[in-house]
Structure 1
Amino acid sequence: MIGRASIYVLAVALIVCILPLVCAARDYYEVLGIGRRASEREIKSAYRKLARHMHPDKHPDKAEEFMEVTEAYQTLSDKELRSIYDRYGADAAKQRQAQKDNGHSGDPFDVFRQFFGGGAASDQTPKGPSKTYQADVSLSDLYMGRSFTMSHSRYVVCPACFGSGAHSSAHIHTCSQCQGSGSQVIRQQLMPGFVTNMQVTCPHCHGAGRTIAKVCSKCRGEKVLADTTEIEVEIEPGAKEGAEYVFEGMSDQSPDVDAGDVVVRVHSTPKTGDFRRVGHHLYYTILLSLRDALLGFDHFITHYDGHKVPVVRSSVTQPGYVMRIPEEGMPIPYDEREAAGGQEHGDLFVDFVVVLPELNDEQRRVIDQLWGVPSHTDL
């Protein structure tokens, strides 16, 4: 009986043998059963469903399908590779993947183990720096939620040479001075009778370990090109001041490192119109006439989304009185509602300022008769 270990070895061998055939694989989107506009979540979900039922450890007869599904997922789950695949096809994406892997062949089982919790890869490509933008929005935007498009300038790997900087692979040669190491050892005399060896960057290839006989005509040997793309930012209702939205792999590309992230940080004015924000709550000030303060009133506040919030009092309202109106504050994001006691919105607090009128003689006489003799109590 063949053991699991033997099946695994046979499956890996079979995958290696059929690798050249996979180059003529079906459209990656078709392989995963998704549309060309599928989201990252849809791509992961499709791979999860297919990979579980094709793993050669349990289904040796499906090794070829497993390889095809994994290759499609590796490409479409990487923003840079997906972009190259959409524009230039599978061969171009594979060349870029090979550069990112630094010549090491990828194991499709590593993808499976990482995806289903089997541990991260030991050799990971370094990541480039991120870029941070500030999005200035209003308090109304944070209440209602807002979607907008922002333009983002970055460098992308040259699609003509795939980041090599050379006209073709035939024009890339190992440096004859350092034999590809990128450095040289020189002897330097510090003082009479005292000599030391020093390792320095190779001046011929500038540390690259290779030279280019003919540079790429598109990027002129720079390996990258300036590019402008658009980022769709969707601010959820109730987002906090300083909330950050991260777009992975959307920063500058480089043939030597993975692209960094673009971070959009929300900045808002704490007060828009008559509303003020404190956490999940909103505050609003109403100016009352003396009549309304004494006899009561029936007002309403127009909220950011246009709905009316009734503010009613039938008794005396003292200066500085604060009315709490439940669930009329800021929306509370779904993942914070449990901590907020299940509320979907914060509260609205209305404070009142009584504006005393200027009185003419007749009004003073009437009030004097109403209240009687003024008080002379010592304070």
Structure 2
Amino acid sequence: MSKDYYAILGVSRAASDAEIKKAYRKMAAKYHPDKPTGNEAKFKEISEAYETLSDAEKRAMYDQFGSDYEQRAGGFGGGFGTGGFNADDLGDIFGSMFGGGGAQGFGGFGQQGGFQQRQARPQKGEDQIVKVMLTLEEAIEGTERVINVMSGNSRSASHSYDTKPIKVRIPAGVLQDQKIRVKEKGFDGFNGGPAGDVIIEVNLQKHPHYRVEGKDVYIDLPITPWEAALGAKVEIPTLKGKIKMALAAGTQSGAKLRIKERGLGKEPGNQYVIVQIYTPPAETDSDREFYEAMAQSFNFSPREGF
């Protein structure tokens, strides 16, 4: 029974090469036997489908004859080298008819008559995508990681892969979703071609204090009412260490202060400090008396005009 390779990869019959490759990579990552969601039979099936649909000649034959195209496309209709006659066959036939002794006796027909057997050209191997989770501290300073990648030929008949560890350097200042290309550490090449690349996709961990927006970093700064009212010099953490910063007298909650070039990126963004005024709780009688005296002393209403 003919297999529907398009349905196996979940693409339409009009799918482009890029769409077919994207679908294969997504499914191969899910069903690879080394993955928790792995399924060896399913992986072999999608690899078989991709091996045919990623090759223009095989795809054309499949579209005409189905998945058993190699058996059904024999003879002249099958084309040279796919089950029909090849150049040497023709040379032998015509040579015996005219007494020439094979392909050479036919005047080198196999070499000169346009029927040269095509030599497969070297091709670069497939790339691999690996997601790497980093802390903000690792992202701003750079780090080294050892990651496991698959080794082998992604179009081999056995579809059998090993894993290999490689050491990669994550440069300082990387951003969320940034891609880092590691040359020739991916799947093996074909016919002597170079290996594919490993593409590292950066994912930044959530931090208990910092928020990231593009290249900029945000942090909330808790201060006391008297620091806000009188002004103060406070210590502020950044991803590159603590710094001292002056708060002006009368600073209000929600005020936004900037520290230049303490963000992420090759050309660093900024760190923004958002002021949050925290009021001590009135837990004792003396605490309440203090707040009552304050209420009497200040002629102040923040809701005036509401």
TM-score when normalising by structure 1: 0.42
Pick one of 296, 301, 304 that aligns with 2:239.
304
1:358 to 272, 281, 287: 281
Q: Report the counterpart of residue 133 of structure 1 in structure 2.
A: 130
1:124-273 maps to which residues of 2 (within 5 A)?
Answer: 125-155=122-152, 226-253=161-188, 255-256=190-191, 258=193, 259-269=195-205, 271-273=206-208
**Match status 1:371 vs 2:298:** yes
Distance in 2 (alpha carbons) for counterparts of 1:233 and 1:252: 16
**Structure with more relative contact order (C-alpha pairs < 8 Å, separation 6 or more):** 1
Partner of 1:348: 271
Q: Which residue of structure 2 lines up, in the alignment, with residue 313 of structure 1?
A: 247
Cα deviation per residue 1:168-204 (whole Å; 9 max; x = unaligned)? xxxxxxxxxxxxxxxxxxxxxxxxxxxxxxxxxxxxx
Does structure 2 retain, via aligned residues, the 8 Å contact 1:152–1:231? yes
Aligned to 2:217: 282
The structure richer in strand per residue is 1
Distance of aligned partners of 1:319 and 1:128 in 2 relative to their CA distance in 1, 3 Å threshold: same
For residues 96-152 of structure 1, the C-alpha deviation after alignment (integer angstroms, 9 at most, x for no partner) is xxxxxxxxxxxxxxxxxxxxxxxxxxx963333221111111111111111111122
The letter of the residue matching 1:311 is M
Q: Which residue of 2 aligns with 1:49?
A: none
In 2, distance between residues paired with 1:354 and 1:136? 34
**What's the CA shift for 1:254?**
5.2
State the SS of the aligned residue for 2:152.
strand
Equivalenced residues, count: 181
CA contact (8 A) 1:301 1:310 kept: yes
Alignment match, 1:18: none
Q: SS of the counterpart of 1:240?
A: coil
Q: Normalising by structure 2, what TM-score?
A: 0.51
Contact 1:287/1:352 (<8 A) preserved: yes
1:66-85 equivalent positions in 2, closer than 5 A? none
- Structure 2 portions without partners, runs of 5+: 1-119
Deviation at 1:286, TM superposition (A): 0.7
Which residue identity does 2:221 align to in structure 1? Answer: I
Q: 3-state SS of the aligned residue for 2:233?
A: strand
Distance 1:285 1:374, change over 3 A: closer
| CA pair 362-149 structure 1, distance change in 2 beyond 3 A | same
Q: 1:318 to 1:128 in 2, by over 3 A?
A: same
Give the SS at the match of 1:310. strand
Counterparts of 1:373 and 1:303, CA distance in 2: 35
Pick closer, same or farther for the CA change 1:239–1:126 going to 2, 3 Å: same
Equivalent AA in structure 1 for residue 224 of structure 2: S
SS at match of 2:290: helix
- Structure 1, unmatched stretches of 5+, are 1-122, 158-220, 338-344
Deviation at 1:228, TM superposition (A): 3.9
State whether structure 2 residue 261 is matched by structure 1 residue 327.
Answer: yes
SS at match of 1:368: helix
| Equivalent residue letter for 2:246 | V
- After TM superposition, the structure 1 = structure 2 runs for residues 29-178 of structure 1, keeping only pairs within 5 Å, are 125-155=122-152
Q: CA deviation at 1:272?
A: 1.6
Q: 1:256 to 1:373 in 2, by over 3 A?
A: closer
* 1:356 Cα deviation from its structure 2 partner: 2.6
Does the 8 Å CA contact 1:140/1:272 hold for their aligned counterparts?
no
Measure, in 1, the Cα distance between the counterparts of 2:128 and 2:252.
Answer: 52
Deviations 1:35-92 (A, max 9, x none): xxxxxxxxxxxxxxxxxxxxxxxxxxxxxxxxxxxxxxxxxxxxxxxxxxxxxxxxxx
**SS of alignment partner, residue 149 of structure 1:** strand
Kept after mapping to 1: 8 A contact 2:125/2:190: no
C-alpha distance after superposition, 1:259-309 (max 9, x if no partner): 32221211112x42312222222111111221211112221123334x321
Q: Does the 8 Å contact 1:224/1:254 carry over to 2?
A: no
Rounded to whole Å, the distance in 2 between the matches of 1:151 and 1:375 is 59
**Percent identity over paired residues:** 20
Residue matched to 2:85: none
